[in-house]
């Protein structure tokens, strides 16, 4: 399980994500612009009637938002996780931590444990999500899995699938074979919290979601290809020409967030779907809900605000986002998430063509996009 570079990597990742342009090209602006929610000149409600609160993992959230797992694993990351946890607690939204593999490698180092644990210590009243890479599961014992859950009192464990990132990462571990499915089956039998299957920014497909759904998993974070592209993040950590060239060629690889939401909802009609990947404003967040997501995950814009401008800038970002979500909801005439999910949705001809080619029936999809009530 040794990985001497893991702590440096955690710091490098934050620096690159904040300082470099590592987003997908134009961040799916075209796709999002072509998803139309119908404006209601007479919404039939007051703006003050809009209540976007929702339940997630037995907690009441003020808005369908979570701060996606980003970091932890080096003492220098503690301050970021601390600030993110302050925001999660203050705004009553869910929060995840970055991959906890470092926690297992440095079990005897209190400062490393604290870099993750600080999240639960501050965010006491919201769901906290643990995190581990699927490719590392074959090396871990059930006790290790229990440890990463209990060390932060996690309410769920996110298992992330990041083959694109690992393929470009200098220390990349590209073991993503079917033995992982067997391992996840064993883990499901062993742990008492739900598993969330998540991508990290290249999107979950119908096929991926269907596989894990058939194993009994009901939580998916589709992390689509509209936000941070980890292929590009790793590119900045490579020196060799061959891999950096490949990374450039793959700069738009993946399933865009809106499409991944539809694929996931079609594959797992009664599941809880988290939309992340380029959710940088309230309008996108509401479009994701109407498309079939239950919650939105935000990462890069928040860490960027905190890193460059401090905690108050992070607060301002979330305030803006939640207010925008409420206004957009108001303008569609929906005063709650369940009403939003029933609002009309207009998709572009390109998206309709995509769905047809993927064998996803539009009528069936529109019936199930509401997901769980």
Residues forming contacts to another protein in the complex (CB under 8 A) are: 178-179, 181-182, 185, 206-208, 210-215, 267
Contacts of residues 350-353 at CB distance under 8 Å and 24 or more positions apart, as own/partner, are: 350/34, 351/31, 351/34, 351/35, 351/258, 351/259, 351/262
Please, which residue, 185 or 356, has the CB nearer to another protein? 185
Residues 168, 133 contacting (CB under 8 angstroms): no
Please, which residue, 166 or 208, has the CB nearer to another protein? 208
Please, which residue, 168 or 217, has the CB nearer to another protein? 217
Please, which residue, 69 or 269, has the CB nearer to another protein? 269
Please, which residue, 11 or 188, has the CB nearer to another protein? 188
Please, which residue, 193 or 215, has the CB nearer to another protein? 215
Could you please report the per-residue DSSP string of 133-193? EGGGGGG--HHHHHHHHHTTT-SEEEEEE-HHHHHHSTT------THHHHHHHHHHHH-SS
The strand pairing partners of 131, in sequence order, are 158
Smallest gap from residue 253 Cβ to another protein (A): 21
Dist. CA 197–CA 133, nearest whole Å: 10
Smallest gap from residue 59 Cβ to another protein (A): 30
Smallest gap from residue 61 Cβ to another protein (A): 31
Contacts of residues 203-206 at CB distance under 8 Å and 24 or more positions apart, as own/partner, are: 203/254, 203/255, 203/256, 203/257, 203/259, 203/260, 203/263, 203/277, 204/161, 204/255, 204/260, 204/263, 204/264, 205/255, 205/260, 205/263, 206/263, 206/264, 206/266, 206/267, 206/358, 206/360
Please, which residue, 87 or 209, has the CB nearer to another protein? 209
Please, which residue, 222 or 295, has the CB nearer to another protein? 222
For residue 135, give both structure tokens.
Answer: 């490719």
Please, which residue, 4 or 359, has the CB nearer to another protein? 359
Dist. CA 17–CA 185, nearest whole Å: 33
Smallest gap from residue 123 Cβ to another protein (A): 34
| Run of H or E including 67 | strand 65-67
Smallest gap from residue 270 Cβ to another protein (A): 15
Smallest gap from residue 231 Cβ to another protein (A): 24
In 3-state terms the chain splits into helix, strand, coil percentages (rounded to 5) of: 50, 15, 35
Number of Cβ within a 10 Å radius of residue 344: 11
Q: How far is CA 88 from the centre of its chain?
A: 15
Smallest gap from residue 109 Cβ to another protein (A): 33
Smallest gap from residue 117 Cβ to another protein (A): 34
Smallest gap from residue 268 Cβ to another protein (A): 11
């Amino acid at each position: 399980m040794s990985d001497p570079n893991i702590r440096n990597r955690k710091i490098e990742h934050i620096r690159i994500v904040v300082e470099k342009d590592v987003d997908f090209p134009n961040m799916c602006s075209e796709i999002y612009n072509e998803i139309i929610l119908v404006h209601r000149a007479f919404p039939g409600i007051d703006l003050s009637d809009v209540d976007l609160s929702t339940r997630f993992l037995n907690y009441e959230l003020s808005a369908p938002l979570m701060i996606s797992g980003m970091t932890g694993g080096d003492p220098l990351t503690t301050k970021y996780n601390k600030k993110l946890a302050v925001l999660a607690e203050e705004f009553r939204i869910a929060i995840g931590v970055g991959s906890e593999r470092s926690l297992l490698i440095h079990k005897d180092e209190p400062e490393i444990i604290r870099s993750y644990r600080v999240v639960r210590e501050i965010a006491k009243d919201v769901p906290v999500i643990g995190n581990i890479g699927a490719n590392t599961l074959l090396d871990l014992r059930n006790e290790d899995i229990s440890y990463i859950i209990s060390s932060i009192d996690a309410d769920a464990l996110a298992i992330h699938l990041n083959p694109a990132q690992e393929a470009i990462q200098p220390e990349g571990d590209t073991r993503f074979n079917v033995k992982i499915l067997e391992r996840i089956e064993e883990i499901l039998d062993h742990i008492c919290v739900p598993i969330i299957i998540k991508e990290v920014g290249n999107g979950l497909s119908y096929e991926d979601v269907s596989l894990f759904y058939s194993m009994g998993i009901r939580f998916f974070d589709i992390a689509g290809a509209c936000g941070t592209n980890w292929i590009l993040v790793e590119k900045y950590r490579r020196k060799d020409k061959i891999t950096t060239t490949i990374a450039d060629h793959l700069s738009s690889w993946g399933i865009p967030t809106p499409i991944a939401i539809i694929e996931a909802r079609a594959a797992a009609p009664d599941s809880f779907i988290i939309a992340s990947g380029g959710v940088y404003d309230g309008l996108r967040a509401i479009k994701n809900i109407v498309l079939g997501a239950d919650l939105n995950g935000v990462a890069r814009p928040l860490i960027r605000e905190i890193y460059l401008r401090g905690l108050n800038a992070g607060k301002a970002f979330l305030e803006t986002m939640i207010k925008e979500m409420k206004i957009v909801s108001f303008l569609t005439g929906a005063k709650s998430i369940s009403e939003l999910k029933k609002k009309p949705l207009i998709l572009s001809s390109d998206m309709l063509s995509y769905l047809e080619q993927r064998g996803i029936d539009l009528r069936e999809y529109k019936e199930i996009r509401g997901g769980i009530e």
